Amino acid sequence: MVLKSVEKTRRETLAMAAIAGLAAILAPRLSLADEQAVAAEIKKLYGDKKFESGKIKLDVPEIAENGLVVPVNVDIESPMTDADYVKSVHVFAEGNPLPAVVSYRFTPACGKASASTRMRLAETQNIVCIAEMSNGKLHMAKANVKVTIGGCGG
């Protein structure tokens, strides 16, 4: 919103305040709905199992200028031996029309549980990454990406 005149009228100021207020009321509800979509996807996969933090390095840019091509790198700390390795990794985007982004299945032959790809993001949002270890333990990490130009529709 760019106001050309420095002196804002009383009416404009009130209108601005009203818009800001409305946005503040609506915004958390919108993001909550998307969070729920991701939570539902995760529940489909793993039920009500508990997630631990740590072990996951989710590397996404803080600010993505182009939502059509956003690099996403996951790196999970693991010895990657036959006895202890990362089985699968799922990446979700909370603000996309379809929350699922990518699912990886690793094997001990990988030597390192790390993979990179590029994704589309519709808007500024949180990225959720979950990792399933061979011993059944689950880990979760989140990161926020600010998107300047959305990558859906158009």
Partner 1 sequence: MATKPTPRVRVPTQAKPGELIEIKTLISHEMESGQRKDAAGKVVPRKIINKFTAAFNGKTVFEADWNPAISANPYQSFFYKAAESGEFTFTWKDDDGSDYVATNKLTVA
Binding site for partner 1 (CB under 8 A): 68-70, 80, 93, 96-98, 100-107, 109-112, 114-121, 151-154
- Residues 99 and 93 sit within 8 Å (Cβ to Cβ): yes
Instruction: Write down the least CB distance from residue 115 to partner 1, Å.
Output: 4
Closer CB to partner 1, 104 or 140, in the complex:
104
Half-sphere exposure of 73 (CA within 13 A, CB side): 8
Instruction: Write down the least CB distance from residue 121 to partner 1, Å.
Output: 8
Q: How far apart are CA 35 and CA 31, in angstroms?
A: 6
Q: How many other C-beta atoms can be found within 10 angstroms of the C-beta atom of residue 129?
A: 23
Q: State how beta strands 138-149 and 63-66 pair.
A: parallel
Instruction: Write down the least CB distance from residue 13 to partner 1, Å.
Output: 38
Closer CB to partner 1, 96 or 134, in the complex:
96
Q: How far apart are CA 92 and CA 142, in angstroms?
A: 10
Closer CB to partner 1, 6 or 143, in the complex:
143
Closer CB to partner 1, 36 or 103, in the complex:
103
